[in-house]
């Protein structure tokens, strides 16, 4: 369907042993039940992005931008590293510009305080990239939503927040469409 929304669920961490794939899979499973958009996992790690400016990185930078161009909106899966987002996510954000503009985004974060500090940093960056970040923000606790900080066992209370966040991301992604055409 030409009008269909495509939402990328962006895994924001790349280290070996990361938990972001578990969190992203959970969000996608919830999202896929809604039948209101096409959701796909977008794993930064698979793009092997060098740091912005690397003269040998053109193919990777282009592949990343091409992927972003196919998407109407985003859900960022955000790990908190040193009270901010990961370096990998910051670099991925920096490696595109127009491709982010006039799209909507939700944030699902995790950390010892639900990843709240990282999420707030991300909101500032998204403003500069003209991405409209929605209010509802599921925050996952490393203590309460993971076993041994590694196996994701989300509490049931997060389900409603994920769905309301997706309602907002889809509504704004659709509303901003005329500005992207």
Ligand X SMILES: Cc1cc2nc3c(=O)[nH]c(=O)nc-3n(C[C@H](O)[C@H](O)[C@H](O)COP(=O)(O)O)c2cc1C
Residues that bind ligand X (CB under 6 A): 13, 15, 18-20, 79-83, 111-113, 142
In the complex, least distance from residue 135 CB atom to ligand X, rounded to whole angstroms: 22
Q: Are 110 and 23 in contact (CB under 8 A)?
A: yes
d(Cα 154, Cα 116) in Å, to the nearest integer? 17
104 versus 142: smaller Cβ distance to ligand X = 142
101 versus 113: smaller Cβ distance to ligand X = 113
Residues sharing a CB contact under 8 Å with residue 7, sequence separation 6 or more, in sequence order: 31, 37, 38, 39, 40, 71, 72, 73, 74, 75, 166, 169, 170, 173
Give me 125's structure tokens: 């960056």
In the complex, least distance from residue 129 CB atom to ligand X, rounded to whole angstroms: 22
75 versus 142: smaller Cβ distance to ligand X = 142
74 versus 81: smaller Cβ distance to ligand X = 81
In the complex, least distance from residue 108 CB atom to ligand X, rounded to whole angstroms: 12
In the complex, least distance from residue 178 CB atom to ligand X, rounded to whole angstroms: 36
Buried b (16+ CB within 10 A) or exposed e, 34-62: eeebbbbbbbbbebebeeeeeeebeeebe
């Amino acid at each position: 369907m030409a009008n269909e929304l495509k939402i990328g669920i962006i895994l924001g961490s790349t280290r070996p042993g990361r938990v972001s794939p578990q969190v992203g899979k959970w969000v996608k499973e919830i999202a896929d039940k809604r039948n209101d958009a096409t959701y796909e996992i977008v794993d930064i790690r698979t793009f092997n992005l060098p740091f912005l400016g690397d003269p040998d990185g053109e193919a990777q930078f282009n592949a990343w931008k091409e992927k972003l161009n196919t998407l109407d909106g985003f859900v960022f899966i955000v790990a908190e590293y040193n009270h901010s987002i990961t370096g990998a996510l910051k670099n991925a954000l920096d490696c595109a510009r127009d491709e982010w503009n006039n799209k909507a985004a939700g944030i699902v974060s995790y950390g010892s305080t639900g990843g709240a500090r990282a999420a707030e940093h991300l909101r500032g960056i998204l403003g500069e990239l003209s991405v409209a970040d929605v209010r509802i923000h599921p925050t996952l606790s490393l203590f309460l939503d993971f076993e041994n900080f590694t196996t994701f066992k989300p509490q049931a209370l997060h389900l409603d927040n994920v769905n309301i966040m997706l309602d907002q991301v889809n509504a704004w992604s659709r509303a901003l469409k005329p500005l992207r055409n």
